[in-house]
Amino acid sequence: MFFVTELKGEIILSNSSFCVYQIRQHFPILDQMINEHPLIYLDNAATTQKPQAMVDAIAAYYLRDNANVHRGSHHLSLRATAAFEGVRETVKTFINAKNTKEIIWTKGTTEGINLLANVLSKGLKAGDEVIISALEHHANIVPWQMLVESLGIVLKIIPLTLQQDLDLKSYQKLLSAKTKIVSVTHISNALGVINPIKEIIKLAHQVGAQVIIDGAQAVGHLIVDVKDLDCDYYVFSGHKLFSPTGVGVLYGKQHLLEALPPWQGGGEMIKTVSFEKSTFNQLPFKFEAGTPNIAGIIGMGAAIDFIRVFNRQDLIDHEQSLLTFTEKALLELPAITVFYEGGVKSGALSFAVKGEHPSDIAMLLDAQGIAVRSGMHCAMPLMAELNCKGTVRVSFSIYNTHEEAERFIEALKKILEMLE
Ligand SMILES: Cc1ncc(COP(=O)(O)O)c(C=O)c1O
């Protein structure tokens, strides 16, 4: 069976329900020229582009339903609340949580980890251990270092193997009865390494530790099933999942969230308030003080609805084929070093050009309309470990094409010739 798509007057035939050209039509931003070249957006690990349906949902909310949620008995407030709470159901299904009480709205991954570090710290004392990994983003390093300063907890780091993935044997040696929290990333934003988090979670549970997974890079690239993973908490940002900036999700097992104290105080998170004492709301509102980002959350719901239309495995396979092609082509260029060479990656691919600064390469690519990220990728300790001053990172999403990957390689070859 063939699927037919029309793109700018051209008929495109595809033998899969997945057609990248059809997907691209939903992302108007991609159709523009940069420096007289068609834009090729390969900075998806930093933030993804947004489908029209998501932008329309935000506009519709502001133009038709705008009101505060949970508070009013008037029509607009009821409509806004229904749309807003409907997204909790959407997210619950998307990550396979048990119920909507386990879905807490945040500003993003950074806020999710800070929230957890803050409330979990109430149960920690000096000498308790928290394990993170050498592959972490600063968002999963600094909040724990702040607890080292304030509480005297001990931070332990899972080191890298020579292949630049996590050394699980060393991890097992770090685990002990003193380990209270293990907080690791699902996918490394800098190198694209997919961590064996199911194994990491299982081992942590054997010593009674709770596990936080930083899913910032994973939700847009993998099928995430929090029940199957058995993680205690899973955090991610909407903007890496075709959603607006400033919204994110903290998933937590219900009984664990119920046992935790609230984080910020204010409206929404209380049941009763008197000058003597306040009592707190039930989940999920206990962790949601103040007016939330209503439009952003409604937008996130529309973005998730948009990608759920496609077969997720088709999207994953497409991205994998782009990564495989690009890595192979990069490895044929003698001046290039690929990080985590040959390892199973998702989303991102990092490389260095012998003798050249990553920012110069990124600027020269931008001159040809190609957007990539260069630098430390908010992972300075990892860059120190890799003994490099940064990398050039290309990161793909569902709307990138093979032509774009080829054009990126051609553009890079031109730059390398010019720099010779
Ligand atoms: C792995 C990882 N963790 C955390 C973050 C922080 O996400 P945000 O800035 O959306 O809070 C990022 C962002 O790049 C990331 O890639």
Task: Give per-residue pLDDT as tens, 143-155.
Answer: 999 999 999 999 9
Q: What's residue 6's pLDDT?
A: 53
User: Where is the domain boundary, 308, 335, 368?
Assistant: 308
DSSP H or E segment with residue 212: strand 210-214
Round the average pLDDT of the chain to a whole number and report it: 95
Q: Which residue out of 184, 214, 219, 237 has the highest number of ligand 1 atoms within 8 Å of its CB and is therefore the one to mutate? A: 237
CB 179 within 8 A of CB 153: no
DSSP H or E segment with residue 374: strand 373-375
- Residue 93 and residue 123 in one domain: yes
CA 53 to ligand 1 centroid distance, Å: 24
Q: Which residue out of 105, 107, 114, 137 has the highest number of ligand 1 atoms within 8 Å of its CB and is therefore the one to mutate? A: 137
Tell me the C-alpha distance between 214 and 144, whole Å.
14
Q: For residue 206, report the phi and psi dihedrals to the nearest 5 degrees.
A: -65, -25
- Residue 301 and residue 330 in one domain: no
Q: Which residues contact 26 (CB under 8 A, 6 or more apart)?
A: 51, 52, 53, 306, 399
DSSP character string of 69-132: SSS--SHHHHHHHHHHHHHHHHHHHHHT-S-GGGEEEESSHHHHHHHHHHHHGGG--TT-EEEE
Task: Give per-residue pLDDT as tens, 385-411.
Answer: 999 989 999 999 999 999 999 999 999
CA 323 to ligand 1 centroid distance, Å: 21
Q: Which residue out of 109, 212, 346, 397 has the highest number of ligand 1 atoms within 8 Å of its CB and is therefore the one to mutate? A: 109
Angle at 219 between CA 216 and CA 221, to 5 degrees: 110
Task: Give per-residue pLDDT as tens, 334-367.
Answer: 999 999 999 999 989 999 999 999 999 999 999 9
Note if 378 is an active site residue: yes
- Residue 255 and residue 289 in one domain: yes
Check if 109 has its Cβ closer than 6 Å to any atom of ligand 1. yes
Tell me the C-alpha distance between 324 and 318, whole Å.
10
The amino acid sitting at 314 is: D
Tell me the C-alpha distance between 55 and 109, whole Å.
22
The ligand 1 atom at the shortest distance from the C-alpha of residue 47 is 14
User: Where is the domain boundary, 255, 288, 308?
Assistant: 308
Residue nearest to atom 16 of ligand 1 (CA): 189
Determine the structural domain holding residue 227 and report its residue range: 55-308
The ligand 1 atom at the shortest distance from the C-alpha of residue 214 is 3
Q: What's residue 420's pLDDT?
A: 86
Could you tell me the CATH number of the domain that includes residue 359?
3.90.1150.10
- Residue 221 and residue 288 in one domain: yes
Residue ranges of the chain whose pLDDT lies below 70: 1-17
Check if 237 has its Cβ closer than 6 Å to any atom of ligand 1. yes
Could you tell me the CATH number of the domain that includes residue 237?
3.40.640.10
Q: How far is CA 220 from CA 7, 68, 338, in A?
A: 25, 29, 23
CA 112 to ligand 1 centroid distance, Å: 10
- Residue 130 and residue 189 in one domain: yes
Tell me the C-alpha distance between 91 and 106, whole Å.
13
